[in-house]
Amino acid sequence: MGKIAGVEFAPQVVSATRFAPSPNGRLHIGHAFSALCAHDFARAFGGKFLLRIEDIDGTRSRPEHIAAIIDDMAWLGLHPDGAPLFQSQRIANYAAALERLKEKGLVYQCWCTRSEIAEALKQQPVRHGPDGPVYPGTCRGRSGGDGDFCWRLDMEKAVALTGPLSWIDLAAGPQIANPAIFGDVVLWRKDAPASYHLAATLDDATDAISHVVRGMDLFAYTAIHRLLQQLLDLPQPLYWHHPLLLDDSGEKLAKSRASKPLSELREAGESGAAIVAALRRGQLPLGITLSRP
Ligand code: GLU
């Protein structure tokens, strides 16, 4: 038996978990908790714990944030197995997957700007998904356009091809995957190669991640990842979406909000090991609570 962050797990065969921060800001205590969950899960069941830097967004990723992440992890005493992995070094793999989806006729080019999408949404009934209004499909079936474009998944075709899908969350139980609620998601961005969905799903396969341990805020996205796994013949990991640390207004801690960066605590001489030990005991800093599982 293993108890991690207050959650009891039955014995598992774990090959690897990962902590996958995006280096577009400093890590805060919510990240420390997430890293601790993935780390302790791997250590409890003899798997590897990997650090994957999700630096695909060249405009927002910063080398100083990458350096701080690596230093923060060492300071927290959450030591990854092996060197950090970088998404920016795997673009060819993402491009090859996009090619396969093109060959299957499952993706299409989209030239729409944000304002064109907003305009199109005014003209027709809007469907709302977990990320807001669903893309109205303006470019589906369009053969050419001007300027930059992204690639979108033809969701209807994709779900028709795979049929019903499900996945397992170790805390929440078996789940029906319903990616259709997201509509035609972007898989290759205008401004950055590959979307989070495509890159993270492929990487979890490349890195032989048997258990994806990450925050509850990403729970709904797993339906998209499950669909991509099926379309690209990738293995299906198990998941644990851990509870989130919330601030005093009940909002998840975000890089942009008041939560103090770990690097500041580190530079002020605080002990990372003590912070991790307190989190393990379920002791949270003043004003911070844990979301309900
Ligand atoms: N890079 C994502 C983030 O920082 C996490 C992705 C994941 O764990 O799947 O929110």
10 Å Cβ neighbour count for 282? 9
Ligand 1 pocket: which of 69, 214, 229 to mutate (most atoms <8 Å of CB)? 214
- The alpha carbon of 239 and the centre of ligand 1 are apart by a number of angstroms equal to 13
Taking alpha carbons only, the member of 193, 184, 190, 117 closest to residue 147 is: 190
Q: What is the pLDDT of residue 44?
A: 96
Which residues line ligand 1 at a C-beta cut-off of 6 Å?
A: 20-22, 54, 200, 214, 218
Q: How far apart are CA 31 and CA 38, in angstroms?
A: 11
Q: What is the pLDDT of residue 259?
A: 76
Q: State the closest ligand 1 atom to the C-alpha of 31, by its place in the atom list counted from 1.
A: 4
10-42 pLDDT, tens digit per residue, is: 999 999 999 999 999 999 999 999 999 999 999
Q: What is the CA radius of gyration of the chain?
A: 20
Q: How far apart are CA 178 and CA 185, in angstroms?
A: 13
Q: State the closest ligand 1 atom to the C-alpha of 200, by its place in the atom list counted from 1.
A: 9
DSSP string, 119-136: HHHHHSPPPEETTEEPP-
Q: How far apart are CA 35 and CA 18, in angstroms?
A: 8
Model confidence band, residue 192 (pLDDT cutoffs 50, 70, 90): confident
In Å, how far are 10, 178, 195, 215 from 56, measured between CA atoms?
35, 26, 8, 20
Model confidence band, residue 223 (pLDDT cutoffs 50, 70, 90): very high
Q: What is the pLDDT of residue 1?
A: 53
Q: Which domains, and CATH codes, for the chain?
A: 1-89+243-293 (3.40.50.620)
- The alpha carbon of 282 and the centre of ligand 1 are apart by a number of angstroms equal to 23
Q: What is the pLDDT of residue 287?
A: 85
What stretches of 1-158 adopt beta strand conformation (E)? 2-4, 7-9, 16-19, 48-53, 85-86, 107-110, 128-129, 132-133, 150-153
Q: How far apart are CA 152 and CA 19, in angstroms?
A: 27
Query: Is the predicted pLDDT of residue 3 greater than 80, yes or no?
Result: yes
Helices 222-231 and 196-206: angle between axes, nearest 10 degrees: 60
- The alpha carbon of 120 and the centre of ligand 1 are apart by a number of angstroms equal to 30
129-151 pLDDT, tens digit per residue, is: 999 999 999 999 898 888 999 99
